[in-house]
Amino acid sequence: MFENLTERLNTIFQNLRRRGKLSEEDVTEVMREVRMALLEADVQYGVVKSLTQRIKERAVGFEVSKALNPAQQVVKIVNEELIATLGQPEALNLKGEKPHVLMMVGLQGSGKTTASAKLAKQLRQKGERVLLVAADPYRPAAIKQLQTLGERIDVPVFTQEGIKPPQLAKNALQTAQKGGYSIMIIDTAGRSQLDNALMDELRAISGFVNPKEVLLVVDAMTGQEALNIAQGFRSAVNISGLMMTKIDGDARGGAAISIREVTGVPIKFLGTGEGVDAIEVFDPVRIASRILGMGDILGLIEKAESTYQEAQDTKAAEKMLAGDFSLEDFAKQLRQMRKMGPLSQILEMLPGQMGTVARKVDPRDAENQLKSVEAIINSMTREERRDPKLLNASRRRRIAAGSGKDVQEVNRVMKQFRDTQRIIKQLQKTGGRGNIGRLFG
Protein backbone atom coordinates (compact mmCIF):
# COMPACT_ATOMS: atom_id res chain seq x y z
CA MET A 1 0.00 0.00 0.00
CA PHE A 2 2.90 2.38 0.76
CA GLU A 3 5.13 1.22 -2.10
CA ASN A 4 4.99 4.43 -4.19
CA LEU A 5 5.38 6.67 -1.14
CA THR A 6 8.35 4.60 0.06
CA GLU A 7 10.08 4.88 -3.32
CA ARG A 8 9.50 8.65 -3.47
CA LEU A 9 10.83 9.26 0.04
CA ASN A 10 13.84 7.00 -0.53
CA THR A 11 14.76 9.01 -3.64
CA ILE A 12 14.41 12.28 -1.69
CA PHE A 13 16.59 11.07 1.18
CA GLN A 14 19.24 9.59 -1.13
CA ASN A 15 19.63 13.01 -2.75
CA LEU A 16 19.75 14.60 0.70
CA ARG A 17 22.60 12.32 1.82
CA ARG A 18 24.78 13.60 -1.01
CA ARG A 19 24.89 17.02 0.62
CA GLY A 20 27.09 18.05 3.52
CA LYS A 21 25.90 20.70 5.94
CA LEU A 22 22.24 21.58 5.35
CA SER A 23 21.07 25.17 4.96
CA GLU A 24 17.53 26.36 5.66
CA GLU A 25 17.01 26.56 1.88
CA ASP A 26 18.04 22.89 1.56
CA VAL A 27 15.52 21.88 4.24
CA THR A 28 12.78 23.97 2.60
CA GLU A 29 13.42 22.29 -0.75
CA VAL A 30 13.36 18.81 0.82
CA MET A 31 10.14 19.58 2.69
CA ARG A 32 8.52 20.73 -0.55
CA GLU A 33 9.36 17.35 -2.12
CA VAL A 34 8.16 15.46 0.97
CA ARG A 35 4.91 17.46 0.92
CA MET A 36 4.29 16.51 -2.73
CA ALA A 37 5.06 12.84 -2.02
CA LEU A 38 2.57 12.77 0.87
CA LEU A 39 -0.16 14.51 -1.14
CA GLU A 40 0.33 12.09 -4.03
CA ALA A 41 -0.05 9.25 -1.50
CA ASP A 42 -3.51 10.66 -0.67
CA VAL A 43 -2.61 11.95 2.79
CA GLN A 44 -5.15 14.56 3.88
CA TYR A 45 -3.97 18.12 3.12
CA GLY A 46 -4.26 19.42 6.69
CA VAL A 47 -2.25 16.48 8.00
CA VAL A 48 0.44 17.03 5.35
CA LYS A 49 0.69 20.71 6.25
CA SER A 50 0.94 20.04 9.98
CA LEU A 51 3.43 17.17 9.59
CA THR A 52 5.81 18.97 7.23
CA GLN A 53 5.69 22.14 9.35
CA ARG A 54 6.74 20.20 12.47
CA ILE A 55 9.53 18.48 10.54
CA LYS A 56 10.81 21.76 9.13
CA GLU A 57 10.82 23.51 12.51
CA ARG A 58 12.97 20.75 13.96
CA ALA A 59 15.15 20.29 10.86
CA VAL A 60 16.31 23.93 10.71
CA GLY A 61 17.00 23.98 14.44
CA PHE A 62 19.85 23.04 16.74
CA GLU A 63 19.52 19.24 16.54
CA VAL A 64 20.34 19.15 12.81
CA SER A 65 22.86 21.99 12.61
CA LYS A 66 25.01 20.33 15.30
CA ALA A 67 24.60 16.78 14.04
CA LEU A 68 27.59 14.86 12.63
CA ASN A 69 25.38 13.60 9.82
CA PRO A 70 22.63 16.17 9.13
CA ALA A 71 20.90 14.09 6.43
CA GLN A 72 20.49 11.11 8.76
CA GLN A 73 19.19 13.44 11.45
CA VAL A 74 16.49 14.75 9.08
CA VAL A 75 15.42 11.17 8.31
CA LYS A 76 15.28 10.51 12.06
CA ILE A 77 13.05 13.57 12.55
CA VAL A 78 10.75 12.51 9.69
CA ASN A 79 10.47 9.06 11.26
CA GLU A 80 9.61 10.46 14.71
CA GLU A 81 7.02 12.91 13.40
CA LEU A 82 5.45 10.26 11.17
CA ILE A 83 5.07 8.03 14.23
CA ALA A 84 3.50 10.93 16.13
CA THR A 85 1.01 11.46 13.29
CA LEU A 86 0.10 7.76 13.20
CA GLY A 87 -0.58 7.98 16.95
CA GLN A 88 0.16 5.81 19.96
CA PRO A 89 -0.73 2.11 19.64
CA GLU A 90 -3.84 1.10 21.58
CA ALA A 91 -4.67 -2.48 22.51
CA LEU A 92 -8.16 -3.93 22.82
CA ASN A 93 -9.89 -3.17 26.10
CA LEU A 94 -10.27 -6.63 27.65
CA LYS A 95 -10.52 -5.57 31.28
CA GLY A 96 -13.38 -6.17 33.69
CA GLU A 97 -16.17 -8.70 33.73
CA LYS A 98 -16.38 -11.33 31.01
CA PRO A 99 -17.58 -11.89 28.37
CA HIS A 100 -16.06 -8.87 26.67
CA VAL A 101 -18.30 -7.77 23.80
CA LEU A 102 -16.72 -6.51 20.56
CA MET A 103 -18.96 -4.95 17.91
CA MET A 104 -17.76 -4.90 14.31
CA VAL A 105 -19.37 -2.10 12.29
CA GLY A 106 -18.86 -0.68 8.81
CA LEU A 107 -20.29 -0.17 5.36
CA GLN A 108 -21.23 -3.08 3.12
CA GLY A 109 -18.25 -4.45 1.22
CA SER A 110 -15.63 -3.28 3.73
CA GLY A 111 -14.71 -6.85 4.66
CA LYS A 112 -16.44 -6.80 8.05
CA THR A 113 -17.47 -10.48 8.20
CA THR A 114 -13.99 -11.73 7.27
CA ALA A 115 -12.46 -9.23 9.69
CA SER A 116 -14.63 -10.64 12.47
CA ALA A 117 -13.34 -14.15 11.77
CA LYS A 118 -9.72 -12.97 11.59
CA LEU A 119 -10.01 -11.26 14.95
CA ALA A 120 -11.76 -14.30 16.45
CA LYS A 121 -8.95 -16.59 15.34
CA GLN A 122 -6.24 -14.28 16.67
CA LEU A 123 -7.95 -14.02 20.08
CA ARG A 124 -8.59 -17.77 20.20
CA GLN A 125 -4.88 -18.38 19.60
CA LYS A 126 -4.20 -16.22 22.66
CA GLY A 127 -6.29 -18.53 24.81
CA GLU A 128 -9.67 -16.75 24.73
CA ARG A 129 -12.98 -18.61 24.39
CA VAL A 130 -14.63 -16.76 21.51
CA LEU A 131 -18.25 -16.72 20.30
CA LEU A 132 -19.07 -15.17 16.93
CA VAL A 133 -22.53 -13.63 16.47
CA ALA A 134 -24.15 -13.41 13.02
CA ALA A 135 -26.22 -10.22 13.33
CA ASP A 136 -26.60 -9.40 9.63
CA PRO A 137 -29.90 -10.87 8.38
CA TYR A 138 -30.07 -8.49 5.39
CA ARG A 139 -27.12 -9.34 3.14
CA PRO A 140 -27.67 -12.57 1.22
CA ALA A 141 -25.43 -15.38 2.52
CA ALA A 142 -23.86 -13.17 5.25
CA ILE A 143 -24.83 -15.65 7.98
CA LYS A 144 -23.65 -18.64 5.92
CA GLN A 145 -20.35 -16.89 5.23
CA LEU A 146 -19.69 -16.36 8.93
CA GLN A 147 -20.69 -19.94 9.73
CA THR A 148 -18.27 -21.24 7.10
CA LEU A 149 -15.46 -19.08 8.48
CA GLY A 150 -16.35 -20.17 12.02
CA GLU A 151 -15.99 -23.83 11.05
CA ARG A 152 -12.63 -23.11 9.44
CA ILE A 153 -11.20 -21.46 12.58
CA ASP A 154 -13.05 -23.73 15.02
CA VAL A 155 -15.08 -20.91 16.62
CA PRO A 156 -18.86 -21.36 17.22
CA VAL A 157 -21.31 -18.97 15.53
CA PHE A 158 -24.54 -17.88 17.25
CA THR A 159 -27.52 -17.18 15.01
CA GLN A 160 -31.33 -17.17 15.27
CA GLU A 161 -33.79 -16.81 12.43
CA GLY A 162 -36.63 -14.28 12.46
CA ILE A 163 -35.21 -12.14 15.25
CA LYS A 164 -34.13 -8.51 14.90
CA PRO A 165 -30.38 -7.93 15.39
CA PRO A 166 -30.68 -6.00 18.72
CA GLN A 167 -32.66 -8.82 20.37
CA LEU A 168 -30.43 -11.43 18.73
CA ALA A 169 -27.36 -9.74 20.22
CA LYS A 170 -29.02 -9.73 23.65
CA ASN A 171 -29.82 -13.45 23.36
CA ALA A 172 -26.27 -14.18 22.22
CA LEU A 173 -24.87 -12.36 25.27
CA GLN A 174 -26.95 -14.56 27.58
CA THR A 175 -25.62 -17.64 25.73
CA ALA A 176 -22.04 -16.36 26.06
CA GLN A 177 -22.49 -15.77 29.79
CA LYS A 178 -23.96 -19.23 30.41
CA GLY A 179 -21.39 -20.91 28.14
CA GLY A 180 -18.35 -19.39 29.83
CA TYR A 181 -17.13 -17.49 26.79
CA SER A 182 -14.58 -14.76 27.44
CA ILE A 183 -15.16 -12.78 24.23
CA MET A 184 -18.19 -12.26 21.99
CA ILE A 185 -17.72 -10.70 18.54
CA ILE A 186 -20.83 -9.33 16.83
CA ASP A 187 -20.77 -9.09 13.03
CA THR A 188 -23.35 -6.35 12.46
CA ALA A 189 -25.11 -5.45 9.22
CA GLY A 190 -23.61 -2.94 6.81
CA ARG A 191 -25.25 -0.61 4.33
CA SER A 192 -24.14 0.78 1.01
CA GLN A 193 -24.09 4.22 2.59
CA LEU A 194 -24.45 5.89 5.98
CA ASP A 195 -28.15 5.97 6.81
CA ASN A 196 -30.37 6.53 9.83
CA ALA A 197 -31.73 2.98 9.87
CA LEU A 198 -28.22 1.53 10.13
CA MET A 199 -27.22 3.91 12.92
CA ASP A 200 -30.45 3.34 14.87
CA GLU A 201 -29.89 -0.42 14.75
CA LEU A 202 -26.27 -0.08 15.91
CA ARG A 203 -27.32 2.17 18.80
CA ALA A 204 -29.99 -0.38 19.81
CA ILE A 205 -27.48 -3.27 19.75
CA SER A 206 -24.99 -1.22 21.75
CA GLY A 207 -27.68 -0.41 24.32
CA PHE A 208 -28.52 -4.10 24.80
CA VAL A 209 -24.97 -5.53 25.09
CA ASN A 210 -22.81 -2.55 26.27
CA PRO A 211 -19.74 -3.42 24.13
CA LYS A 212 -16.20 -2.94 25.42
CA GLU A 213 -15.03 -2.17 21.89
CA VAL A 214 -16.79 -0.88 18.77
CA LEU A 215 -14.41 -1.47 15.87
CA LEU A 216 -15.07 0.26 12.56
CA VAL A 217 -13.91 -1.79 9.58
CA VAL A 218 -12.71 0.51 6.80
CA ASP A 219 -11.63 -0.47 3.29
CA ALA A 220 -8.23 1.10 2.51
CA MET A 221 -9.22 1.26 -1.16
CA THR A 222 -11.75 4.02 -0.39
CA GLY A 223 -8.89 6.50 0.15
CA GLN A 224 -9.78 9.75 1.89
CA GLU A 225 -13.45 8.76 1.87
CA ALA A 226 -12.44 6.52 4.79
CA LEU A 227 -12.07 9.69 6.88
CA ASN A 228 -15.67 10.72 6.13
CA ILE A 229 -16.92 7.21 6.90
CA ALA A 230 -15.12 7.23 10.25
CA GLN A 231 -16.53 10.64 11.11
CA GLY A 232 -20.04 9.52 10.14
CA PHE A 233 -19.98 6.42 12.34
CA ARG A 234 -18.34 8.27 15.20
CA SER A 235 -21.18 10.80 15.31
CA ALA A 236 -23.69 7.97 15.85
CA VAL A 237 -21.90 5.32 17.95
CA ASN A 238 -18.90 5.36 20.24
CA ILE A 239 -16.18 4.08 17.89
CA SER A 240 -13.20 2.89 19.95
CA GLY A 241 -10.92 1.76 17.16
CA LEU A 242 -10.45 1.00 13.48
CA MET A 243 -9.52 -2.05 11.48
CA MET A 244 -8.25 -1.11 8.04
CA THR A 245 -8.69 -3.89 5.47
CA LYS A 246 -7.22 -4.59 2.03
CA ILE A 247 -3.93 -2.83 2.74
CA ASP A 248 -2.31 -5.40 0.46
CA GLY A 249 -4.06 -3.74 -2.49
CA ASP A 250 -2.88 -0.84 -4.64
CA ALA A 251 -4.42 1.92 -2.50
CA ARG A 252 -2.12 4.87 -1.96
CA GLY A 253 -2.18 4.53 1.82
CA GLY A 254 -2.80 8.14 2.79
CA ALA A 255 -5.92 7.35 4.81
CA ALA A 256 -3.92 5.16 7.20
CA ILE A 257 -1.56 8.07 7.86
CA SER A 258 -4.32 10.69 8.15
CA ILE A 259 -7.13 8.97 10.00
CA ARG A 260 -5.85 9.17 13.59
CA GLU A 261 -5.05 12.89 13.42
CA VAL A 262 -8.30 13.78 11.60
CA THR A 263 -10.75 11.63 13.58
CA GLY A 264 -8.94 10.95 16.85
CA VAL A 265 -9.83 7.25 16.49
CA PRO A 266 -6.85 4.84 16.68
CA ILE A 267 -6.18 2.13 14.10
CA LYS A 268 -5.95 -1.12 16.09
CA PHE A 269 -5.65 -3.75 13.36
CA LEU A 270 -4.67 -4.10 9.71
CA GLY A 271 -6.13 -6.67 7.32
CA THR A 272 -3.18 -7.74 5.18
CA GLY A 273 -4.88 -10.24 2.84
CA GLU A 274 -7.86 -12.49 2.27
CA GLY A 275 -6.84 -15.41 4.50
CA VAL A 276 -8.08 -15.76 8.09
CA ASP A 277 -4.45 -15.40 9.27
CA ALA A 278 -3.96 -12.11 7.38
CA ILE A 279 -4.29 -9.72 10.30
CA GLU A 280 -1.73 -7.78 12.28
CA VAL A 281 -1.84 -5.43 15.24
CA PHE A 282 -1.28 -1.84 14.14
CA ASP A 283 2.13 -0.61 15.33
CA PRO A 284 2.96 2.99 14.32
CA VAL A 285 6.70 2.47 14.83
CA ARG A 286 6.83 -0.47 12.47
CA ILE A 287 4.51 1.14 9.90
CA ALA A 288 6.68 4.28 9.85
CA SER A 289 9.73 2.06 9.42
CA ARG A 290 8.15 0.38 6.38
CA ILE A 291 7.12 3.72 4.85
CA LEU A 292 10.68 5.04 5.16
CA GLY A 293 12.15 1.88 3.61
CA MET A 294 13.68 0.63 6.87
CA GLY A 295 11.82 -2.68 6.69
CA ASP A 296 10.11 -4.57 9.49
CA ILE A 297 12.31 -7.44 10.63
CA LEU A 298 10.25 -7.94 13.80
CA GLY A 299 7.13 -8.35 11.68
CA LEU A 300 8.94 -10.82 9.43
CA ILE A 301 10.06 -12.88 12.43
CA GLU A 302 6.51 -12.84 13.85
CA LYS A 303 5.17 -14.14 10.53
CA ALA A 304 7.72 -16.96 10.63
CA GLU A 305 6.90 -17.80 14.24
CA SER A 306 3.13 -17.79 13.60
CA THR A 307 3.49 -20.43 10.84
CA TYR A 308 6.10 -22.52 12.62
CA GLN A 309 4.91 -25.95 13.76
CA GLU A 310 7.16 -26.82 16.68
CA ALA A 311 6.36 -30.50 17.15
CA GLN A 312 6.57 -31.27 13.45
CA ASP A 313 9.48 -29.13 12.32
CA THR A 314 11.98 -28.84 15.19
CA LYS A 315 14.22 -31.57 13.76
CA ALA A 316 14.07 -30.12 10.22
CA ALA A 317 14.88 -26.62 11.50
CA GLU A 318 17.88 -27.91 13.48
CA LYS A 319 19.20 -29.71 10.40
CA MET A 320 18.67 -26.55 8.34
CA LEU A 321 20.62 -24.48 10.87
CA ALA A 322 23.43 -26.98 10.89
CA GLY A 323 23.68 -26.81 7.09
CA ASP A 324 23.17 -30.58 7.05
CA PHE A 325 19.75 -31.07 5.50
CA SER A 326 18.17 -32.98 2.64
CA LEU A 327 16.01 -31.86 -0.26
CA GLU A 328 13.06 -33.15 1.77
CA ASP A 329 13.93 -30.69 4.55
CA PHE A 330 14.51 -27.96 1.96
CA ALA A 331 10.99 -28.49 0.53
CA LYS A 332 9.46 -28.34 4.02
CA GLN A 333 11.12 -25.00 4.73
CA LEU A 334 9.93 -23.62 1.37
CA ARG A 335 6.37 -24.64 2.27
CA GLN A 336 6.76 -22.95 5.67
CA MET A 337 7.89 -19.75 3.94
CA ARG A 338 4.90 -19.82 1.58
CA LYS A 339 2.58 -20.10 4.60
CA MET A 340 3.92 -16.74 5.83
CA GLY A 341 1.83 -15.01 3.18
CA PRO A 342 2.27 -13.44 -0.27
CA LEU A 343 5.91 -12.82 -1.15
CA SER A 344 5.07 -9.16 -1.88
CA GLN A 345 4.32 -8.67 1.83
CA ILE A 346 7.44 -10.52 2.93
CA LEU A 347 9.67 -8.53 0.56
CA GLU A 348 8.43 -5.16 1.79
CA MET A 349 9.53 -6.09 5.33
CA LEU A 350 13.18 -6.40 4.29
CA PRO A 351 15.25 -3.38 5.38
CA GLY A 352 17.50 -0.95 3.55
CA GLN A 353 19.16 -1.82 0.24
CA MET A 354 18.09 -5.47 0.61
CA GLY A 355 14.45 -4.39 0.64
CA THR A 356 14.95 -1.96 -2.24
CA VAL A 357 16.41 -4.69 -4.44
CA ALA A 358 13.81 -7.26 -3.31
CA ARG A 359 10.90 -4.94 -4.08
CA LYS A 360 12.03 -4.78 -7.71
CA VAL A 361 11.45 -8.53 -8.02
CA ASP A 362 8.05 -9.39 -9.46
CA PRO A 363 6.34 -11.35 -6.63
CA ARG A 364 4.46 -13.43 -9.21
CA ASP A 365 7.73 -14.59 -10.75
CA ALA A 366 9.08 -15.44 -7.31
CA GLU A 367 5.89 -17.38 -6.43
CA ASN A 368 6.11 -19.32 -9.72
CA GLN A 369 9.75 -20.17 -9.02
CA LEU A 370 8.85 -21.54 -5.60
CA LYS A 371 6.11 -23.67 -7.14
CA SER A 372 8.56 -24.99 -9.76
CA VAL A 373 11.07 -25.94 -7.06
CA GLU A 374 8.35 -27.79 -5.14
CA ALA A 375 7.18 -29.61 -8.29
CA ILE A 376 10.72 -30.75 -9.08
CA ILE A 377 11.42 -31.98 -5.54
CA ASN A 378 8.03 -33.74 -5.38
CA SER A 379 8.94 -35.63 -8.56
CA MET A 380 11.92 -37.25 -6.81
CA THR A 381 11.77 -40.51 -4.91
CA ARG A 382 12.15 -40.40 -1.12
CA GLU A 383 15.66 -41.84 -1.42
CA GLU A 384 16.67 -39.12 -3.92
CA ARG A 385 15.30 -36.35 -1.69
CA ARG A 386 17.21 -37.69 1.29
CA ASP A 387 20.44 -38.31 -0.62
CA PRO A 388 20.87 -35.79 -3.51
CA LYS A 389 24.15 -37.50 -4.49
CA LEU A 390 22.05 -40.19 -6.16
CA LEU A 391 20.86 -37.73 -8.83
CA ASN A 392 22.79 -38.77 -11.92
CA ALA A 393 21.92 -37.65 -15.46
CA SER A 394 19.25 -40.27 -16.15
CA ARG A 395 17.48 -39.61 -12.85
CA ARG A 396 17.47 -35.90 -13.57
CA ARG A 397 15.86 -36.51 -16.96
CA ARG A 398 13.15 -38.59 -15.30
CA ILE A 399 12.52 -35.87 -12.67
CA ALA A 400 12.30 -33.20 -15.37
CA ALA A 401 9.72 -35.21 -17.31
CA GLY A 402 7.70 -35.95 -14.16
CA SER A 403 7.53 -32.31 -13.08
CA GLY A 404 6.88 -30.86 -16.56
CA LYS A 405 10.18 -28.95 -16.48
CA ASP A 406 13.42 -29.28 -18.41
CA VAL A 407 16.71 -30.72 -17.15
CA GLN A 408 18.23 -27.24 -16.92
CA GLU A 409 15.60 -26.27 -14.35
CA VAL A 410 16.33 -29.40 -12.32
CA ASN A 411 20.04 -28.52 -12.39
CA ARG A 412 19.18 -24.97 -11.30
CA VAL A 413 17.23 -26.26 -8.28
CA MET A 414 20.14 -28.46 -7.27
CA LYS A 415 22.49 -25.48 -7.51
CA GLN A 416 20.12 -23.40 -5.33
CA PHE A 417 20.04 -26.23 -2.81
CA ARG A 418 23.84 -26.45 -2.65
CA ASP A 419 24.15 -22.65 -2.46
CA THR A 420 21.71 -22.56 0.46
CA GLN A 421 23.76 -25.20 2.30
CA ARG A 422 26.95 -23.24 1.71
CA ILE A 423 25.48 -19.86 2.75
CA ILE A 424 24.06 -21.22 6.00
CA LYS A 425 27.39 -22.87 6.84
CA GLN A 426 29.16 -19.54 6.19
CA LEU A 427 26.69 -17.70 8.42
CA GLN A 428 27.26 -20.30 11.14
CA LYS A 429 30.97 -19.51 11.07
CA THR A 430 30.33 -15.74 11.31
CA GLY A 431 27.93 -16.01 14.25
CA GLY A 432 24.70 -15.70 12.31
CA ARG A 433 23.00 -18.71 13.90
CA GLY A 434 20.82 -16.65 16.23
CA ASN A 435 19.24 -14.58 13.47
CA ILE A 436 18.70 -17.56 11.17
CA GLY A 437 17.25 -19.49 14.05
CA ARG A 438 14.66 -16.81 14.75
CA LEU A 439 13.53 -16.85 11.12
CA PHE A 440 13.26 -20.65 11.09
CA GLY A 441 11.31 -20.70 14.38
**In sequence order, which residues have a C-beta less than 8 Å from that of residue 343 and are 6 or more positions away?**
363, 366, 367, 370
Q: What percent of the chain shows pLDDT beyond 70?
A: 77
- CA 97 to chain centroid, in Å, comes to 31
pLDDT for the residue 318: 60
pLDDT for residue 115 is more than 70: yes
Average pLDDT over residues 415-431: 68
pLDDT for the residue 60: 79
Higher pLDDT among residues 344 and 140, named by residue: 140
pLDDT classification of 67: cutoffs 50, 70, 90: low
pLDDT for the residue 344: 56
pLDDT for residue 178 is more than 90: yes
Coil, helix or strand at residue 334:
helix
Provide the β-strand partners of residue 158: 133
Query: Diameter of the chain by CA atoms?
Result: 74
Q: Do residues 245 and 220 lie in contact, with contact meaning Cβ atoms separated by under 8 Å?
A: yes
pLDDT, mean over the chain: 80
Q: How many CB atoms lie within 10 A of CB 365?
A: 10
pLDDT for residue 284 is more than 80: yes
CATH fold group of domain 3-86: Four Helix Bundle (Hemerythrin (Met), subunit A) (1.20.120)
Sign (positive or negative) of CA dihedral 231, 232, 235, 239: negative
Most confident of 7-21, 189-203, 245-259: 189-203
Which superfamily, per CATH, for 100-283? P-loop containing nucleotide triphosphate hydrolases (3.40.50.300)
Q: Look at 102-116, 119-133, 238-252 and tell me which has the smallest mean pLDDT.
A: 238-252
Higher pLDDT among residues 293 and 403, named by residue: 403
pLDDT for residue 438 is more than 60: no
Q: What percent of the chain shows pLDDT beyond 90?
A: 28
**In sequence order, which residues have a C-beta less than 8 Å from that of residue 333 and are 6 or more positions away?**
316, 317, 320, 440
pLDDT for residue 139 is more than 60: yes
pLDDT for residue 368 is more than 90: no
pLDDT for the residue 414: 87
How confident is the model over 288-328, as pLDDT tens digits? 877 876 654 445 545 555 555 544 455 555 655 555 667 77
Coil, helix or strand at residue 95:
coil
Domain boundaries, the chain: 3-86, 100-283, 299-439
pLDDT for the residue 354: 45
What are the φ and ψ backbone dihedral angles of 384, each rounded to 5 degrees? -65, -40
Q: Look at 31-40, 186-195, 399-408 and tell me which has the smallest mean pLDDT.
A: 186-195
Higher pLDDT among residues 194 and 407, named by residue: 407
Higher pLDDT among residues 215 and 335, named by residue: 215
Burial (CB < 10 A; 0-12, 13-18, 19+), residue 392, is: exposed
pLDDT for the residue 165: 94
The structure's pTM equals 0.68
Say if 3-86 and 299-439 have the same CATH topology.
no
pLDDT classification of 264: cutoffs 50, 70, 90: confident
How confident is the model over 46-60, as pLDDT tens digits? 999 999 999 888 887
Q: Look at 231-235, 333-337, 376-380 and tell me which has the smallest mean pLDDT.
A: 333-337
pLDDT for residue 186 is more than 70: yes
User: Minimal CA–CA distance to 325: which of 410, 424, 391?
Assistant: 424
pLDDT for residue 273 is more than 70: yes
Q: Give CA–CA dist 135/167, Å, rounded.
A: 10
Average pLDDT over residues 333-361: 57
Q: Give CA–CA dist 274/271, Å, rounded.
A: 8
pLDDT for the residue 73: 79
pLDDT for the residue 99: 94
Provide the β-strand partners of residue 330: none
pLDDT for residue 349 is more than 60: no
How confident is the model over 11-34, as pLDDT tens digits? 887 777 776 677 788 888 888 998
Coil, helix or strand at residue 339:
helix
Q: Give CA–CA dist 215/106, Å, rounded.
A: 8
Average pLDDT over residues 271-300: 76
- For the domain with range 299-439, which CATH number is right: 2.70.98.10, 1.10.260.30, 3.40.50.300, 3.30.450.40? 1.10.260.30
pLDDT for residue 248 is more than 80: no
